[in-house]
Amino acid sequence: MSSESELFDKIYYETKADIYRYICIHCRSIGDIDDIFQDTYIALFEYLQRHRGVAVKSPAALLITITKRVLIKYHFGLKRRRAECFAEESAGDDDEQMLVKINKLILKKPPLVQKIFLMRHSMGMSFAQIADAIGKREGTIKAQYYKAIADIRRHLEKEGDK
């Protein structure tokens, strides 16, 4: 049992950043990314349990295959779940309320823009890294990002005038 656990831990720590990035790129809904990530590693653990004693020649390739299967399940609605807002509506602090508003506005944006925000702010990726990962030009990524920021700013200023 411990050998499967040790193998799982080793594979997890070696692959988690790349698999998370892969899921971000291929997932249709930003709200499902963490669920898919979790389900991917649950499936890996189950695989290791079923195939005890079998050497894993290429952990990265195995995980990409598992991730693709999990993504297919999500895309076809077998496990469709929607993420709730990042914070509760009743947040007392003004900064928290502002973050809730901004997060809601980001979630109304197209999936590409949501991914750009996630990769930029949660994963700390540069525009060049995001462009490379998504397969778009860096100028396109920057334009989408700054256009979204301007839209959010306009919306918040308009809301503040009321």
pLDDT, residue 87, reads 39
The pTM is what?
0.58
pLDDT, residue 142, reads 92
In which residue are the tokens 């920021």 written?
149
Q: What is the distance between the alpha carbons of residues 34 and 23, in angstroms, rounded to a whole number?
A: 9
Comma-separated ranges of CATH 1.10.10.10 domains in the chain: 94-161
Q: What is the distance between the alpha carbons of residues 67 and 19, in angstroms, rounded to a whole number?
A: 8
- Residue 139: pLDDT band (50, 70, 90) is very high
Which of the two residues, 118 and 80, has the higher pLDDT score? 118
CATH number of 2-75: 1.10.1740.10
pLDDT, residue 138, reads 92
Q: What is the distance between the alpha carbons of residues 132 and 29, in angstroms, rounded to a whole number?
A: 20
pLDDT digits (tens, 9 = 90+) for 55-113: 888 888 899 999 888 887 776 664 444 444 343 444 456 667 777 788 888 888 888 88
Res 137 pLDDT > 90: yes
Res 148 pLDDT > 60: yes
Q: Is CATH 3.40.190.10 correct for 94-161?
A: no
Comma-separated ranges of CATH 1.10.1740.10 domains in the chain: 2-75
pLDDT digits (tens, 9 = 90+) for 10-38: 999 999 988 998 888 887 777 788 888 99
